[in-house]
Chain A
């Protein structure tokens, strides 16, 4: 089944403890992206990647890192999480980028205390 897989689905962590949210797609898509969703602010792009080893900042990149060593994987790294990074996170992929239809992962609900 074609899908984007995110893990974990839920995570509660403490301030400053490094964490990684994984994202993997099995559709051979070139483009992958991370979004966060917050009440009243909608979906905002954190980082995106047009291809392997090509990543760039979205609208709200501060406090996040990403890597794209393989086409299928696009992990989101929070080196020192803070409470303002409590949010619902989505990974998305598409074959050609925003000019093509997006497939989203199931989301990761992160709480930083």
Chain B
């Protein structure tokens, strides 16, 4: 079936630490995006990254489409990085459906 799996499910960091979040997706999913849902519920698009590597400040993402995974790197974490990180991908032949992973809950402690 269609699968977008994220790991780890939960992560606690001390402020200043680095982390890597992983998204594995089945062979019917592509066109990866990463989102951050902050503690107030707002969903922010971090990256649209179907392949390759992108960087935005302390965040970067890499998608290796041929191996069906994407990684989100957070460096020098801050308390404002707390929240849930979702990856989402376009399902196969259907051009209308974005499939979301179950998310990684990140808590950055001061």
Q: Which residues of A contact B (CB under 8 A)?
A: 33, 42-43, 45, 48, 50, 56, 58-59, 88, 90, 92, 97-104, 106-107, 109
Contact = CB atoms under 8 A, between A and B. Distances in A.
Contacts of A92: 43
Interface in B34-83: 35, 41-45, 48
18 contacts: A42-B100, A43-B86, A45-B97, A50-B96, A58-B96, A58-B97, A88-B41, A97-B95, A97-B96, A99-B31, A99-B95, A101-B48, A102-B33, A103-B45, A104-B35, A104-B44, A106-B41, A109-B41
Contacts of B48: 100-101
Interface in B82-110: 86, 88, 90-91, 95-98, 100-103
A101 B45 contact: yes
A99 B98 CA distance: 9
B95 A98 contact: yes
Contact of A98 (B35, B44, B86, B96): B96
Nearest to B49: A101
A9 to B, nearest CB: 9
A23 to B, nearest CB: 13
Interface residues of B, number: 21
Contacts of A104: 35, 42-45
A107 B96 contact: no
A42 B2 CA distance: 14
**9 nearest interchain CB pairs?**
A101-B48, A104-B43, A98-B90, A43-B100, A98-B98, A107-B41, A42-B100, A106-B42, A101-B45
Contacts of B98: 33, 45, 98, 102
